[in-house]
Structure 1
Amino acid sequence: MINIVVNKDRINKELAYTIFYLLRKIDDDVEISYEEKQGCINIYYGIEAETGIVIPFSENHNELNFSDYKESKFCSFEKIDEPYSVFDQKIKFNFDIIFTSKYFITLQEEYEIQKRDDKERFLCQFSKRNKYINVPFFDINAEILYDAIKIKFPQVKLKEKSPEIMLSHDVDSLNSRDKYVFLHNCKSILMGKNDSLSKRIGIMLRDIIKNVHLQIPNYLEIENSYGVKSEFYFIAGYKHRLGKRYELSKYNDYVKKIHESRNHKIGIHTNYFSYLDEKEMKREIEEIENNTHAKVDSCRNHYLRFKMPETLECLQKAGVKFDSTVGYSDVNGFRAASTDAFIPFNLSANNIVPIYEIPLAVMDGIVMEKNVSFEEKWQEIKVLLDNTIKHNGTASVLWHQRVILDSEYKDMYKKIIEYCLKQGCNFIFTDDLTKRYLEEREKINTLLEKIK
């Protein structure tokens, strides 16, 4: 057993929660106590000791500093070159790895930094980690802690787990000839900057001449050919060019194919206008369930509108069990500094939010709309996939429903699937995570109950 020896005046629920996630991949039980225990691996946090592993306590979080660790980097709020020092009798950490990790996994900076874009979103550019957002610093901290433990206790092993990829499709529109799509294209013509004016006009004319947005059959064909799983997130609720752009009841034949497939699942793409409205979320879920006859408990918010912790609290109260909104709308990377699914912590309420969050590692348009070569786009995506694979994470890839018509989008999507299969990834949907989520929730609650 790993026993974290703490000072009762310094430990709290958010730090205990962080300790659980730092050590969850180690194949041993974890205990938090106020005294060392015989026969255990004792790690002293905020307490001086002559032997074992000692981690200092600090509440400094003014400025992040980045240093090399193995082939990657680690960061801390202290200016240090090495995460820990090895002595004859003990290993002493040079920074508070627990507090720093807590800052990442709880999204603490989003409570403190008030900047938001015009859609009220916290962007990567506002983060203290914005230059290294594709580096999963929380996972690296877990690796550092494990490496330190192994020096003194080589018998400690990691749990066996393969990296997992959740493919997902936000269904923003199903009919390119719909008036709301037309209005959206008009706005793009007037305000768009990424593409030339001629290209924007060309897209609008193409969308008017023929419905090119209904691409569900293409995804089913591709994914079934590889034997992989995915989820489709539909929009309900308020009709608007930024909200619902279709009536799901008109597409029963396509929805039925998703619902009857063992490798596909239906979820909700929460309306742009309801990301802070639990009652409207419930109505939207009911609308989708009534039209699909599917149980809806997984989600991603439209435009990645997300406020910590209010959005998660609303989703949980509306009946959502799984979410994959925690990613950035401007840069692909790891918003909670982790490649792995986790139960979020509400710093305002001082407790967990009983929902399972799957990190959004890759969103198509962020990289595919760049004016660079296909190979350069792939290398940017590959870094994120490789980090997920290296840390045996569970992350989400978002490829919008309508984009697969484009040959480059289609080729990249197939390349992602082929690469992940070759690297030994399991393709999952959220139902596959239920058991793990329930086990983690029980263990975390047991740990937090002991903290006064």
Structure 2
Amino acid sequence: MRILFYCQQTSARLSYILDFLGKQINADFVITSDEAFFTGTNTVRINYSSAALHANELHVQPHSLLFERSITPQKTDCFVWNNLTAFFKTGGDIPFDVFAASFYLLSRYEEYMPHEKDMYGRYAHTNSLAYKENFLQQPLINLWIQQLQQLLEEKFTSFHHYKNQFTFLPTYDIDIAYQYHHHPWWKSLLGFVNDTRKKPSQWLARATVLARVKKDPFNTFDWLHALHRQCQPKPVYFFLVAEKRGLYDKNLSPHNTAMQLLIKEHYEKYTTGIHPSWQSGDDENILKEEISILENICGKNVTVSRQHYIRMNLPETYRRLLSNGITKDYSMGYGSINGFRASVASSFFWYDLSKEQPTTLEIFPFCYMEANSFFEQHLTATQAAEELQQYAAIVKKVNGLLITIFHNHFITTQQEWLPWRNMYADFVKSICGDQ
């Protein structure tokens, strides 16, 4: 599908957002500043200028954002359009600049402005427009795109409504592969001492696992393999391979034989990526070392990542990943609340606002992490199941990409976690049955 797009000037920002939108509706935007050519060509047309040019066009009056070359505070007064939140009010057939508003959200423009950090030094979700205006739980850009397609269909009989395919992509962060097995002897001994003093009931659990009478509780990998075989999704695993333990990095040593075998097993079956440690956020050399460690274990280049604790800051984190060979990142979401951080349920390429250029780093946004439901939102497994189903429903509505995060230690058979394990199994079976 070809869409003729008239504008009096162009920019890297405009080209970027049209490229994204074109992929979403399976269309090629042909930009022209020739008014006679635009009005004289009988095709699907969008006029992106202040004045109407033709009776048969979709007219969108532009906001200034896409033609600016600086990062400055923007007025984002919100209003309701077709039951959806909108901002950057202008005029024409659509009462706001859907292209500029989409760019604002997708580029994470607001994260480049001065803002408060949360307790982990991350961009606090409470700063975001989506949170303040209550659309964090919506893939708003995808919903806008649906409305745009509908308007084009009404204007042009030659325009065919394109539907993406709904996709469920389960992902897993392996922060601590085993609770008791394969740890250094001194750590196991210290664990027994602490159990005796603080958790006597856990002493027996540790002993039976180390004696190989029972399976390690965190070893849920075979269970996940069976679940995947039954439902046939294409999961992605992220391994934490910090060499030095820290306050937030408590993984097994990447030089541990059992750990290396586990990583190799997953690399052979699934997409496997790096889970850059908390420490690597302070030192790019550590990031390089961790990627190198994972590459040596796998025997191949590592190009996929997700930040541990979702510790990221723009543009520094993404630039570091790019300079270290990462081409796909799954960190776009909040580690403090579930929702659509970039207001989208589709992958997209990161636009480096500071350099005013698109990049080759493809971003895969997640909207749900079980740790947010439990630790931050204080939900029960039953309530979390309802929340997860709500996200699935809205992503299905836009035929988008549903990415979830679970941890191996959250889906164990231990009494306190068994409801979460059952909830997740039921969800995966139901969602895969609908695809």
TM above 0.5, yes or no, is yes
> Which residue is equivalent to 2:336?
330
> Which residue is equivalent to 2:408?
401
Of the three residues 218, 221, 226, the one matched with 1:221 is 226
Q: Which amino acid aligns with 1:352?
A: P
> Which residue is equivalent to 1:446?
none
- Alpha-carbon spacing, 1:202–1:371, altered in 2? closer, same or farther (3 Å): farther
CA-to-aligned-CA distance 1:197-231 (integer Å, 9 cap, x gap)? xxx96897688555432322222222223223212
Distance 1:68 1:47 in 2: 20
Residue 248 of structure 2 corresponds to residue 242 of structure 1: yes
Q: Note if contact 1:243-1:271 (Cα within 8 Å) is conserved in structure 2.
A: yes
Q: Note if contact 1:110-1:308 (Cα within 8 Å) is conserved in structure 2.
A: yes
- Alpha-carbon spacing, 1:330–1:222, altered in 2? closer, same or farther (3 Å): same
Identify unmatched segments of 5+ residues in structure 2.
66-73, 210-215
Q: Identify the range of structure 1 (272-281 vs 97-106) with the bigger mean alpha-carbon deviation.
A: 272-281
Q: Note if contact 1:22-1:141 (Cα within 8 Å) is conserved in structure 2.
A: no
Q: Identify the range of structure 1 (368-377 vs 300-309) with the bigger mean alpha-carbon deviation.
A: 368-377
- Alpha-carbon spacing, 1:133–1:206, altered in 2? closer, same or farther (3 Å): farther
Q: Note if contact 2:370-2:384 (Cα within 8 Å) is conserved in structure 1.
A: no
Distance 2:206 2:150 in 1: 58
**Cα offset, 1:121, TM superposition:** 0.8
Q: Which amino acid aligns with 1:233?
A: F
Distance 1:202 1:129 in 2: 46
Distance 1:282 1:421 in 2: 36
- Alpha-carbon spacing, 1:394–1:40, altered in 2? closer, same or farther (3 Å): same
Distance 1:49 1:388 in 2: 35
Q: How many residues align?
A: 394
- Alpha-carbon spacing, 1:109–1:160, altered in 2? closer, same or farther (3 Å): same
- Alpha-carbon spacing, 1:108–1:152, altered in 2? closer, same or farther (3 Å): same
TM-score by length of 1: 0.79
- Alpha-carbon spacing, 1:330–1:227, altered in 2? closer, same or farther (3 Å): same
Q: Note if contact 2:168-2:233 (Cα within 8 Å) is conserved in structure 1.
A: no
> Which residue is equivalent to 2:264?
256
Distance 1:330 1:388 in 2: 21
Distance 2:127 2:358 in 1: 25
Q: Note if contact 2:118-2:124 (Cα within 8 Å) is conserved in structure 1.
A: yes
Q: Which amino acid aligns with 1:99?
A: A
Q: Which amino acid aligns with 1:417?
A: V
Q: Identify the range of structure 1 (297-306 vs 154-163) with the bigger mean alpha-carbon deviation.
A: 154-163
> Which residue is equivalent to 1:65?
78
After superposition, residues 426-441 of structure 1 pair within 5 angstroms as: none
Distance 1:217 1:64 in 2: 50
Per the alignment, in what secondary structure is the counterpart of residue 287 of structure 2? helix
- Alpha-carbon spacing, 1:151–1:410, altered in 2? closer, same or farther (3 Å): same
Over the residues paired in the alignment, what is the CA RMSD in angstroms? 2.9
> Which residue is equivalent to 2:148?
145
Distance 2:359 2:204 in 1: 44
Distance 1:319 1:204 in 2: 43
After superposition, residues 190-339 of structure 1 pair within 5 angstroms as: 210=209, 211-237=216-242, 238-248=244-254, 249-251=256-258, 252-261=260-269, 264-275=270-281, 277-339=283-345
**Cα offset, 1:54, TM superposition:** 1.4
After superposition, residues 44-59 of structure 1 pair within 5 angstroms as: 44-50=47-53, 51=55, 52-59=57-64
Residue 31 of structure 2 corresponds to residue 28 of structure 1: no
**Cα offset, 1:373, TM superposition:** 4.7
Distance 2:390 2:114 in 1: 27
**Cα offset, 1:353, TM superposition:** 2.1
Q: Which amino acid aligns with 1:321?
A: T
Q: Note if contact 1:278-1:315 (Cα within 8 Å) is conserved in structure 2.
A: no
CA-to-aligned-CA distance 1:124-155 (integer Å, 9 cap, x gap)? 22212102201111112212221221111133
Distance 1:217 1:203 in 2: 26
Distance 2:155 2:387 in 1: 38
Distance 2:302 2:285 in 1: 15
Per the alignment, in what secondary structure is the counterpart of residue 31 of structure 2? strand
Distance 1:64 1:206 in 2: 59
> Which residue is equivalent to 2:386?
379
**Cα offset, 1:314, TM superposition:** 0.8
Residue 153 of structure 2 corresponds to residue 161 of structure 1: no
Q: Note if contact 2:238-2:272 (Cα within 8 Å) is conserved in structure 1.
A: yes
Distance 1:315 1:206 in 2: 43
- Alpha-carbon spacing, 1:66–1:208, altered in 2? closer, same or farther (3 Å): farther
Greater Rg over alpha carbons, structure = 2
- Percent of pairs identical after alignment? 19
Q: Note if contact 1:27-1:158 (Cα within 8 Å) is conserved in structure 2.
A: no
Distance 2:149 2:106 in 1: 18
TM-score by length of 2: 0.82
Residue 414 of structure 2 corresponds to residue 414 of structure 1: no
Per the alignment, in what secondary structure is the counterpart of residue 122 of structure 1? coil
Q: Identify the range of structure 1 (402-411 vs 91-100) with the bigger mean alpha-carbon deviation.
A: 91-100
Distance 1:97 1:160 in 2: 19
Distance 1:341 1:206 in 2: 46
Q: Identify the range of structure 1 (225-234 vs 317-326) with the bigger mean alpha-carbon deviation.
A: 225-234
Q: Identify the range of structure 1 (145-154 vs 273-282) with the bigger mean alpha-carbon deviation.
A: 273-282
Q: Which amino acid aligns with 2:61?
A: P
Q: Note if contact 1:231-1:265 (Cα within 8 Å) is conserved in structure 2.
A: yes
Per the alignment, in what secondary structure is the counterpart of residue 348 of structure 2? coil
Q: Note if contact 1:358-1:395 (Cα within 8 Å) is conserved in structure 2.
A: no
Q: Note if contact 1:279-1:318 (Cα within 8 Å) is conserved in structure 2.
A: no
Q: Identify the range of structure 1 (338-347 vs 287-296) with the bigger mean alpha-carbon deviation.
A: 287-296
Distance 2:341 2:205 in 1: 34
